[in-house]
Amino acid sequence: METSKTIEDVYYYDNSLNRFSHGSVKIQNGIIAGVEETQNLGDCSRFLIPGLINTHSHIAMSRFRGRLDDVNLEKFLEKTFKLDSERTKDDIFHSTICGIYELLSNGITSFFDLYYDEDIIWDACNKMGIRSFLSWNTLDREITTQKGDPVDNAENFIREYSGKSSIIYPSIGIQGVYVASLDTMKAANNVSKKFDTVLHMHLSETRKEVYEFLDKTGKRPVEFLSDNDLLSKRLNAAHCVWLNDHEIRALGKNEVNVSWNSESNLKLGTGGFPPVPELMNNGVNITIGTDSNGSNNSLNILETAKTGTISIKNSRWDAGILNATDVFRMLTVNGGRASHIPHLGEIKIGAPADFNIIDGNHFSLQSSDPDVMINQIVYSMNPAAITDTVINGKYIKKDGKMNSDIENNYRESLRFLKAAFKV
C-alpha cells in the first residue's frame, strides 16, 4: 500500500545550495518524492532539516551512564570489559531501547553502533524504527569475552540479518589495534569486503595507544593499516586524535571516513584534538559521533558538535577555521556518505525520508530567518526545538510528542532496568 504525504509551508535545507528554501516536501513510500520551492507569503517559522546521523556509539552501554566516570581510557576499558562479561540478553536489549529513545529525542535518525551481540541490538532497533548501522565488534579470540570466534560471530550476524529490514544494516567492526592482531584485522576486513559493508573501528584515540603500537610494530596505527591495505572508503574510523601528516594524507588518499567524538575524548582526558582542518583539507569525510553514555554520558549530538567546534577554534586561535555549515554537513550529509546509502542526510528527490522539523520560535532559536538558521542549529539549538522527527517516511515524533508505541517501549524498558539494576 502506497503512503504519501506533503509537508507544506516550510523552509527546507537545500544541500546543493547550502541554504534554506521555502516550499513543500512530498514523501512517498519512505522516499522524498518531490521538493517544490515557493514564495513565503506568511510568517513561516518551521525548518525542515535532514535527520542527524551519529556515526559512533555503543548504544547498549546506556545503562552504564555515571558508572565509568573520572577515569582515563585504559581504566575505562578495564571496567567496561568486566561489565560486558556479566551482561544478559535482557540487559542489553532494554538498555538499547532506552539509548535509542535518547537518540530519537535528540533528532538522531540514523546511528552507527560498535558492540557484540548486535543481534539483540537489531531487535531493539527494529522495535523502535530507527535507521541503524550495526557493526559486530571483533578482537583476538584469546582476549574476547564473546563465545566462539568474534570474526565468525560477525560474519554469521551479517549472513542472518542482511535484508531482514530496509533500514537496519548489519556489518563488522574492530575494537582497535591494541586488542586485534593483523590476522584478526585482515579477517574482519575480508568479511567487510565480501559483504560490502561498513568496517567500524576505534583508531588512534590516545597517545598511549599510538606509541605503544609504534614500540611493538615499528609503525603508527594508521601507517600500519595503510601498509597492510586495511584503509578504504568502507572504513568508519572513530576518534583519530593522534595523527601525523603522513597518516592524514593516507586517510584522505584511501577515502576513509573519520568519526569525530569530541566530548568523549575530552571527558576521558585523551589530550589534544583531532586535526580536523587538516583532515578536511586532505579530503577526509568528517562526521560526528557521541560515543557511548558510558564515556560521554549524553547522546546530545548537537552539544557534541558544538563542543568539538569551539574546542578546535580555541586551540588554533582562529574562530574562522571551522564554520557552522561545515559542521552541519558533518552532522548530516557526511554521515550519509559514510553509510553508503545514496542521498542519506539530504533533502532531495530520491533521498530517504529521514528528517526533523524545527520550531524557529523555540527559546533556543528565536528566529524565522533562514539566513542564520544553520548557525543557530550548530551553536544554540536545544533538541527540544525539534517538533517532528520522521524516519523512512514514518513519524517518530509529531507536534512535540513521541509516537505512543515508542514511548511505551521506553517506559517498559526503563522499568525493567530500574527493577533489575536500580539505575
pLDDT at 10: 97
Rounded Cα distance between 371 and 369, Å, is 5
Cα angle 272-275-281, degrees, rounded to a multiple of 5:
170
Per-residue pLDDT tens over the stretch 310-368 = 999 999 999 999 999 999 999 999 999 999 999 999 999 999 999 999 999 999 999 88
Per-residue pLDDT tens over the stretch 230-266 = 999 999 999 999 999 999 999 999 999 999 999 999 9
Rounded Cα distance between 365 and 367, Å, is 5
Q: What are phi and psi of 166, to 5 degrees?
A: -80, -10
Strand 31-37 with 108-115, pairing: unpaired
Low-confidence ranges of the chain (pLDDT < 70): 1-2, 423
Rounded Cα distance between 241 and 286, Å, is 12
Q: What is the DSSP string of 150-170?
A: HHHHHHHHHHHHTTS-SSEEE
- Look up residue 21 and give its amino acid: S
CB of 205 within 8 A of CB of 241?
A: yes
Please report the domains of the chain, with CATH numbers, ordered by start residue: 4-51+343-401 (2.30.40.10), 52-339 (3.20.20.140)
- Look up residue 111 and give its amino acid: F
Q: Of 138, 142, 145, 144, nearest to 86 (Cα)?
A: 145
Give me the sheet containing 401-402, strands edge to edge.
31-37, 19-28, 4-14, 46-50, 355-359, 386-391, 394-398, 401-402
3-state secondary structure of 263: helix
274 burial via Cβ count (<10 Å: 0-12, 13-18, 19+): buried
Q: Of 292, 331, 281, 341, nearest to 308 (Cα)?
A: 331
CB of 207 within 8 A of CB of 270?
A: yes
Strand 46-50 with 4-14, pairing: parallel
Q: Of 192, 124, 58, 114, nearest to 413 (Cα)?
A: 124
CB of 7 within 8 A of CB of 25?
A: yes
pLDDT at 1: 42
3-state secondary structure of 64: helix
